Amino acid sequence: MIDTTYETADRDRQFAHQHSPAQSQAISPAQRGSHTGTQAIPSYMTEVYDWAYVNPSWVRWLDHDIVVKTLLFCNDRRLMKRYLDRVQSGMHVWQVAHVYGDLVQQVAQRVGHEGRFDLTDVTPIQIAHAHSKLDALPQARIIQQDAAVFQAERPYDLVCSFMLLHEIPEDWKRRVVDNMLAQVSEGGEVIFVDYHRPAVWHPVRYILKLVNRWLEPFANALWEHEIREYASRAEDYQWTKETLFGGVYQMVRVTRRAK
C-alpha cells in the first residue's frame, strides 16, 4: 500500500581508528555513557541495548541472516529490496548504522568501484563486524561516529536509516533525522526503513507490544508519530510513505523541495 497523505509531505578498535577520518570531529555534549577509543557510547546503548549491540558474545550470535529473517518476520529481503532499489552504480551513499546480516555488503557492491559507501556506527563491536564484511571492498569506508553529529566532506546522493530510529530516544531521533536531511545533495534522497503502527487486526501487533514493553522502549514512538515530525524543517522536503506487512513496517522517502 502506498500512502502519500503527507505530500507537504575484537576485528578490534584499531580497525576503527585506522579507517576513521571522522575521529577528530566533535562529539555532542548530550552524549553520555561509556567511552571507548575517541567515541562516547550513548548511555541508552549500554543501559537498554547492551545485549543487542554492545556485548560481543551476543553480537556474534545475532549477526546472521537467519536471525535477521526471524526478527523481521521473514520480511528482511522485502525491506532490504526497498533500500537496494534506490542504490545505483556510482552513487555516494551513507548508511547511518551497521545492521546485522549481509545488507551492508550488498549496498557497497551495488555502488561499485566508481561510487562510495560510507557506514557509520558509534559502537566499537559494530565497527569491528562491519570491517569483517567490508574490508575487501575499496569503495566502502567505515567510520566510528554518531549519526547525529557525523559530517561528510561532501553531500550524499542517498542517505539511509535502516531499522534504526525505533531504537533511539526521542531527542536522538530528532538530531539524527535533521543531520541525515542536512547531508543529502540537491536531487538526492533520504530513506527511512523502520517499524510503523500495525493494523489492529494484525497478530504481529500484539507480539510487538510485548517486545516494545520489555526490550524496545523507544519503538512505540513510531506507532504514534510520523517520521516527518522529527524534522525541524519538514516543510522544506517532499515526504512519501509506503507501508508493508499490514502496517508493521514503513519506508519513507524524502527529497528536498525545489526553491
Residue 2 dihedral angles phi and psi, to the nearest 5°: -100, 130
| Tally of CA atoms within 13 A in the half-sphere of 192 that contains its CB | 27
Total domains, the chain: 1
Answer for the pair 100, 68: CB distance below 8 angstroms, yes or no: yes
For residue range 201-252, what is the model confidence (pLDDT) as tens digits? 999 999 999 999 999 999 999 999 999 999 999 999 999 999 999 999 999 9
Alpha helices of 152-202 — where are they, by DSSP H?
A: 170-182
pLDDT tens digits along 4-61: 333 333 333 333 333 333 332 333 323 333 333 346 788 888 889 998 999 888 999 9
In a domain, 26, yes or no: no
Mean pLDDT of all residues in 159-183 = 98
Start-end of H helices in the chain: 13-19, 43-48, 56-62, 65-71, 76-84, 103-111, 124-134, 170-182, 203-214, 221-224
CATH number for the domain that contains residue 245: 3.40.50.150
- The answer to whether residue 249 is domain-embedded is yes
Note whether residue 150 is domain-resident.
yes
Residue 249: CB atoms within 10 A of its CB come to 22
Residue 248 lies in a domain: yes
- The string over 177-188, giving b where at least 16 C-beta atoms fall within 10 Å of a residue's C-beta and e elsewhere, is bebbbebbeeeb
Residue 84 counted as domain residue: yes
Residue span of the structural domain in which 98 resides: 2-21+32-256
Q: How far is Cα 33 from Cα 119, in angstroms, rounded to an integer?
A: 22
124 and 10 Cβ atoms separated by less than 8 Å = yes
C-alpha cell at 133: 564484511
